[in-house]
Structure 1
Amino acid sequence: MKLRTLGSGTVGAVALAVGALVMAPPASAVGPATATIQINCGDWGSGQARLDAQQNGSAATITFSTPVVWASHSFPANTIETTLTLSNARGGTVTFKGKANPAWTLLGQPFNSGPLTGTVAPGDVLEAKSLTSTVGTFRVDCTATSLQNPGPFVF
């Protein structure tokens, strides 16, 4: 009798756990989470940039940072409008935009876009192509001169 109670209790707990898994939203992750590219930023020069990506369902963020572009004077946090354009293996482009830069205050401090937001679809394969950042008359245009390493972002 006790064995039967233990058995039905275990079956009930397993059924409840399976039900919870079925009802849970699907986990999504972008891979790789970090990539690098070589960029050309015109008068600022050329070099390496780092891209850090995160995904939550169809919403994604990418942060772009590089020592190629450095602070020539101070910019407060959340003032630099940045657009990152990525090519989509399905065709066309996807843009990530933001105005969430950290304060850029120290002479020579590397550029950091802060999180740029965009919308992705399952299976999107995105590769960084260009970045434009502006605040007032200050403008930076960078173009990718290499493929992403270790590879494109797969959402």
Structure 2
Amino acid sequence: MKRTVIRSVLALGLVSALALGGCASPFPPSADALTKLPVVTYPDKPAGKSDYIYKLPAGQRIDVRLLVDGSALTMGADQAISARLGRDLYLHKQWASEDGRHWVDAKELVGVNLSLRLPGYETPGPGELHLSVNRKMPR
């Protein structure tokens, strides 16, 4: 089976953290407006429904759940894997920042590539799920 590639904005816990909304503004909210929002730091979860900034701190373990299931399997898998960021990452809707003051579209700051290779005729041996998260240089 050939390699299947899925490209996304940021998919690791990051994957869901940066899911884009349908009617997003092309410009980030003002820095003044964002500094007034509470900062929720991973692994904490926001309280209530109010707006907030979500911070993924540099050097801290970020857990991701890997779940494999389906009707074709007699045994699935459910594992936690971890990664660490090299820099703080602040998230607000589709916006991202490394300092909490200068915001860009998350796609301009972090790139994610998720690929899946299943065992098959052309690729015998173990399959591979590969998540690559790369820092981009903001403009």
Select the structure that is richer in strand.
1
Where is the helix percentage greater, Structure 1 or Structure 2? 1
TM over 0.5: no
Higher relative contact order (CA 8 A, sep 6+): 2
With normalisation by structure 1, the TM-score equals: 0.28
